[in-house]
Amino acid sequence: MAFSSDSTCVNHLYTSQDGYETLHLENEDEIQDDTSLSISGISSQEEESLCSFPEWMNGHWEGLTIDGSSFVYRDEHNFVTYKGKCLEAVEQSASNNDRDAELGKIGLKYLLQLKTECGEVSYNCALFQRRDSNVMEFQLGKLGFVFMGFMKNKNCFHYSFFAY
pLDDT of 11 strictly over 70: yes
Residues in the chain: 164
Give the global pTM.
0.62
In degrees, to the nearest 5, what angle opens at C-alpha 73 toward C-alphas 70 and 79? 150
Give SS3 for 143. Answer: coil
What pLDDT does residue 33 have?
38
What pLDDT does residue 48 have?
59
Map out the domains of the chain as residue ranges.
Answer: 1-27, 35-160
pLDDT of 52 strictly over 80: yes
Q: How far is CA 128 from the centre of its chain?
A: 13
The per-residue pLDDT for range 16-33, each reduced to its tens digit, is 888 888 888 776 654 443
The DSSP letter of residue 145 is B
Pairing relation of β-strands 108-116 and 80-89? antiparallel
Bigger pLDDT: 78 vs 46: 78
Bigger pLDDT: 102 vs 37: 102
pLDDT of 127 strictly over 60: yes
How confident is the prediction for the chain on average, in pLDDT?
75
The per-residue pLDDT for range 89-103, each reduced to its tens digit, is 876 554 456 666 566
| pLDDT > 70: percent of the chain | 63
pLDDT of 161 strictly over 70: no
Q: What is the DSSP string of 47-61?
A: HHT-----GGG-EEE
Cα-based torsion angle of the residue sequence 97, 143, 66, 44 in order, rounded to the nearest 10 degrees: -90
Pairing relation of β-strands 70-75 and 80-89? antiparallel
Measuring CA to CA, which residue among 67, 50, 157, 72 is closest to residue 109? 157
Whole-angstrom Cα distance, residue 66 to residue 72? Answer: 7
Contact 133, 88 (CB under 8 A): no
